Structure 1
């Protein structure tokens, strides 16, 4: 890794984000990137989207939402998506993105960050557990709800 950083999603990076590749089997656990990008249009005040750059190369994308008024608690501070290009996985980029997300959550005085995912072989569960998410429940669709509690 040369110069790892996160920047806001922009017109200059959106095409590269849309072209991030997945490893075989990952597509069943991740909606198209354009779904995540649409959140900015729908909720511009609460949406938080960052592009992960290694030098000038787009290597990943992370999308979250911070809405203290969300009716369901697990949607108040939620990681919606994290996508690291297939060729760049297993280099610590996902961990870097989660660390940036947690830092942002702290600046917004959130007490936790939640992620909701589908369990299954080849799915994201092992990654989320490695970076500190702990399962705390299920959605009505049997998706896993996991969280990282933030120290006050």
Structure 2
């Protein structure tokens, strides 16, 4: 079966499907629902990059990047970062490469925008996405943000 994976902006025509997207119940403690992400995207419109993940005509996930934000302005106002803010893959569509596709699509977008590093955070513990990100090449920076491990990938 040939798949046609792509990212699409959230539009009036697909927002209801986006809001209905659900991860596995055990993952709900590790990732915010799409509705929260879209509210954040609205509030942080200049730096949020929300996209829906489609396989053909089927919505399979949601991804949101953050673009060129100051990391810790009090410590270093010139330390600006871009990376993965949110990744939600539908519970019944996991394990099919959609997350890997989304992470790589964000990497490509960041590279297109001139970013040299790609950041992500994750919680440790049961059902953590840590192994997923490590397999994709992210490495812990030694930093912690909001109780989560910060990882980086050189672009």
1:15-73: CA deviation from partner (whole Å, max 9, x where unpaired) = 112211222311110112112111221122221111000111110000011125x1437
Partners of 1:11 and 1:32 in 2: how far apart? 18
Partners of 1:145 and 1:38 in 2: how far apart? 23
Partners of 1:17 and 1:10 in 2: how far apart? 9
Partners of 1:75 and 1:92 in 2: how far apart? 30
Partners of 2:93 and 2:13 in 1: how far apart? 20
Q: Is 1:86 aligned to 2:87, yes or no?
A: no
TM-score of the pair, normalised by structure 2? 0.87
Which residue number corresponds to residue 115 of structure 2? 110
Which residue number corresponds to residue 77 of structure 1? 82
RMSD: 1.8
**Residue correspondences, number:** 149
Partner SS state of residue 60, structure 1: strand
**Which structure has the highest strand share of the two?**
2
- 1:75–1:114 contact (8 Å) kept in structure 2: no
Which residue number corresponds to residue 147 of structure 2? 142
Q: Is 1:123 aligned to 2:124, yes or no?
A: no
TM-score of the pair, normalised by structure 1? 0.89
Which residue number corresponds to residue 23 of structure 1? 24
Q: Is 1:52 aligned to 2:44, yes or no?
A: no
Partner SS state of residue 121, structure 1: coil
Partner SS state of residue 25, structure 2: coil
Provide runs of 4+ in structure 1 moved above 4 Å.
none
